Structure 1
Amino acid sequence: MEDVIIAYNDQDKNNIPTARTTALAGLPLYLKEDSSEVFKTCKDELEATVALVAVVDEAEVPAGVPFETHHVSIVLEDQVVMSHRSWTDSLVILFGLIYALHLNYPEKLSGFFEFIQVVLLNLDDGRRQLKAKLQS
């Protein structure tokens, strides 16, 4: 988590997308979840079951946070379904696709996606009880 904050401090703090990227990239670290299987960065295309694959220059990934991307591929069930320029917008699209298609959240990031669903977007109308890990 500390590395993400240090990387953010080296960026333009008046840039709202940079702040969003930092917050969303830091959330799995705060929840002690492994995001490496879902949030990937590479120089070329890479496939996975469910993932955001940010295609970047290697020098542009401080602390593993893709502040500057060439494009971001959204992968569902081993297929690239969309591409976008922004990592945060791609994350929102990935969440929306998983939610709308009733897919299971990636196992290692289930708390991250549940937090977005219940706390940030209030999509459960208070009917769902948060896991103890998220409540604390």
Structure 2
Amino acid sequence: MSSINLSVTHFISNELFTLSLSEKIKFNAALRLTSLRKLCPGQILHLWHRPHVRPPFLQSTDSRRDSDKTINAEFQRLMAVPLEQTSLAQLDRHSSQLIKVIQAKGGATRAKMAGIMRTYDEVEDIGIQRECVLKGLITFLGEDAKDLIKEYCGSSGDDAQMELKQLTMAVFVIRKEGEGLKEPPEDIGIVIEGVEVLQDLTSVASACALLLGLIYSLNLAYPKALCFTFEVFQKIFMQLEQHKMSPKVENLFGRLQTSQ
């Protein structure tokens, strides 16, 4: 990811200001004009829901449901590329060839993906199909889809909440008891540093795009266990910094281009 020196917190007159998602993103621009003391994103995200005092230039009436719009707008400002629109369009553009490449993989990897690919063929919902492709892609890259997409049963309640608090960065999916990938989930959201920063998202694919947007906006590092997955999100789906691909992602990109 390109180096974007952003921060999400500051001290003014020894007061710690902890900001909402929208305000954190807006504050990035103000940092260019100030010399404020900074904390790391992880420290601030732990304070996400605490009472805070807002300086005048950060007063905001944005509601939680507008947060996805704020992330899209900030990514557009930073990178001059629409976030969700581009990510989903490129995922759809490459899906057919991705399926071919994934299914061509043999051995244990192919066995792991068999159920996901079967679901892809059986459903018509575009959101579920995109989720299947993403899970297959992650497995194809030698990474674990469960490291990115955490699935819970709604009835697990407190246990799920406790586990979410332990997560560094993930998309979470809450399903009704007895339901699986073929049925729409009860909730889809994003957790960072144990804090649920977004909820009620439309699909796992949208959540993955918004997570990438948050990583850029808050200057977070890609999870090490998912470095190739996020490289694909960045360089193939978002078409950013394509001249600096790792050999594994470059090989995948070449195989996708042969069908274009």
- What is the TM-score normalised by the length of structure 1? 0.84
User: Partner of 1:55: helix, strand, or coil?
Assistant: strand
Q: Which residue of 2 aligns with 1:10?
A: 122
Mapped contact 2:123–2:129 kept (Cα < 8 A): no
Change in Cα spacing, 1:29 to 1:67, as seen in structure 2 (3 Å) is farther
Q: Percent identity?
A: 27
Q: Which residue of 1 aligns with 2:195?
A: 79
Q: Which residue of 2 aligns with 1:104?
A: 221
Q: Which residue of 2 aligns with 1:121?
A: 238
Runs of 4+ deviating beyond 6 Å: none
Unaligned runs of 5+ in 2: 1-112, 252-260
The yes-or-no answer on 1:94 pairing with 2:211 is yes
- Aligned equivalents of 1:67, 1:108: Cα separation in 2: 28
The match for 1:59 among 149, 157, 178 is: 178
Q: Deviations over 1:42-94 (max 9, x none)?
A: 024441110111000243224xxx75211112001111101124222111111
Mapped contact 2:174–2:188 kept (Cα < 8 A): yes
Q: What are the equivalent positions in structure 2 for 1:13-52 lying under 5 Å apart?
A: 15-43=125-153, 44=157, 45-46=160-161, 47=164, 48-52=167-171
- Aligned equivalents of 2:150, 2:213: Cα separation in 1: 19
Q: Higher helix proportion, which one?
A: 2
- What is the TM-score normalised by the length of structure 2? 0.46
Change in Cα spacing, 1:70 to 1:110, as seen in structure 2 (3 Å) is same
Work out the number of aligned pairs and report it.
129
Q: Which amino acid aligns with 1:22?
A: C
Change in Cα spacing, 1:67 to 1:105, as seen in structure 2 (3 Å) is farther
Cα offset for 1:11?
Answer: 1.5
Structure having the higher Rg: 2
User: Partner of 2:147: helix, strand, or coil?
Assistant: coil
User: Partner of 1:32: helix, strand, or coil?
Assistant: coil
- Aligned equivalents of 2:211, 2:183: Cα separation in 1: 18
Q: Deviations over 1:68-122 (max 9, x none)?
A: 2111120011111011242221111111101221211111111001111011111
Q: Higher strand proportion, which one?
A: 1
Cα offset for 1:133?
Answer: 1.4
